[in-house]
């Protein structure tokens, strides 16, 4: 009886074991399917969905325009600005235009409408430029005014246009902040009134000195514009 009971139990265990293994295998298959689907869902997502829902863990840094800290102008740089800036291309072009216009209209009439008159007009303007820049750099050194123009090439076009006009009447101080260009406001009219002492009689009065002061600020706008956009135009023209 004991032997027959053991045979019955062993046969029952043999019958139940495949079912248990089979049921366990089926359960694993049922779990593997959903897990695989969950893992593959992000990789199978459409490119548009990935673009519209970028990962939020690492946002891109915002662009900052002022990457380089301002370095105040030194005394040697002031002297260099006074000596070199009158010979910069934009100033030389302004002188050629002014002298050519004056020669074409024979103003002042004492110089005459010929090449000799052109040279006198150009030289007269050049002496005024040297005087104005010396006064602007010297007075600005007292309160730390920087007479240099720094282009804003990393800004949008509209802001660059505004920068041209702002830097015509403003200047950077030692602390890097913009303030009214008081040295320029003093130097432009003072140098033009002072030049009345060596100009010919027809243009050595108050009205002509004031007119030259206004032209000086207009010329400053033209110079800033050339410094701002000429490097970009040069790359475009010469395909560099």
Which candidate, 84, 91, 83, places its Cα nearest to that of 219? 91
- Dump pLDDT digits (tens) for 166-207: 999 999 999 999 999 999 999 999 999 999 999 999 999 999
Which candidate, 125, 124, 138, 222, places its Cα nearest to that of 186? 138
* Sequence-ordered alpha helix ranges (H) in 87-174: 89-105, 115-143, 157-169
Spatial distance between the Cα atoms of 127 and 108, rounded to a whole number of angstroms:
16
Identify the pLDDT of residue 158.
Answer: 94
Which candidate, 203, 214, 190, places its Cα nearest to that of 128? 190
Residue with tokens 């000086």, as numbered in its chain: 216
pLDDT over threshold 80, residue 121: yes
- Dump pLDDT digits (tens) for 96-108: 999 999 999 999 9
Q: Which carries the bigger pLDDT value, residue 169 or residue 6? A: 169
Average pLDDT, the chain: 79
- Dump pLDDT digits (tens) for 24-67: 444 444 544 554 444 444 434 444 444 444 445 444 433 333 34
Contact by Cβ (8 Å): 186, 135: yes
Quick one: what percent of the chain has pLDDT higher than 90? 61
Mean pLDDT value of segment 3-14: 48
Angle of helix 89-105 versus helix 206-237 axis, rounded to 10:
130
Identify the pLDDT of residue 197.
Answer: 94
Q: Is 176 left (phi over 0), alpha (psi -120 to 50) or beta?
A: left
pLDDT over threshold 70, residue 137: yes
The contacts of residue 102 (CB under 8 Å, 6+ apart) are: 108, 111, 117, 121
Contact by Cβ (8 Å): 135, 145: no
Mean pLDDT value of segment 61-85: 76
| Torsion of the alpha carbons at 100, 105, 110 and 116, rounded to the nearest 10 | 30
């Amino acid at each position: 009886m004991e032997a027959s009971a053991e045979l019955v139990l062993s046969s029952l265990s043999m019958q139940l074991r495949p079912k248990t293994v089979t049921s366990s295998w089926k359960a694993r298959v049922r779990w593997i399917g959903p897990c695989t689907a969950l893992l593959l869902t992000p990789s199978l997502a459409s490119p548009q969905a990935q673009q519209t829902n970028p990962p939020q863990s690492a946002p891109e840094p915002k662009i900052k325009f002022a990457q380089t800290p301002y370095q105040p102008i030194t005394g040697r740089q002031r002297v260099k600005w006074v000596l070199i800036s009158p010979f910069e291309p934009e100033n030389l072009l302004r002188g050629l235009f002014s002298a050519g216009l004056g020669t074409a209209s024979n103003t002042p009439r004492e110089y005459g409408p010929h090449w000799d008159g052109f040279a006198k007009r150009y030289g007269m303007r050049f002496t005024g430029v040297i005087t104005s820049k010396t006064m602007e750099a010297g007075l600005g050194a007292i309160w730390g005014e920087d007479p240099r123009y720094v282009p804003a090439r990393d800004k949008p076009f509209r802001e660059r246009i505004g920068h041209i006009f702002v830097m015509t009447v403003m200047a950077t101080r030692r602390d890097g902040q913009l303030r009214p260009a008081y040295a320029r406001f003093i130097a432009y009219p003072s140098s033009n009134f002072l030049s009345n002492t060596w100009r010919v009689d027809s243009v050595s009065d108050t009205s002509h000195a004031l007119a030259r002061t206004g032209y000086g600020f207009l010329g400053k706008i033209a110079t800033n514009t050339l410094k701002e956009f000429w490097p970009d135009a040069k790359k475009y023209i010469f395909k560099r």
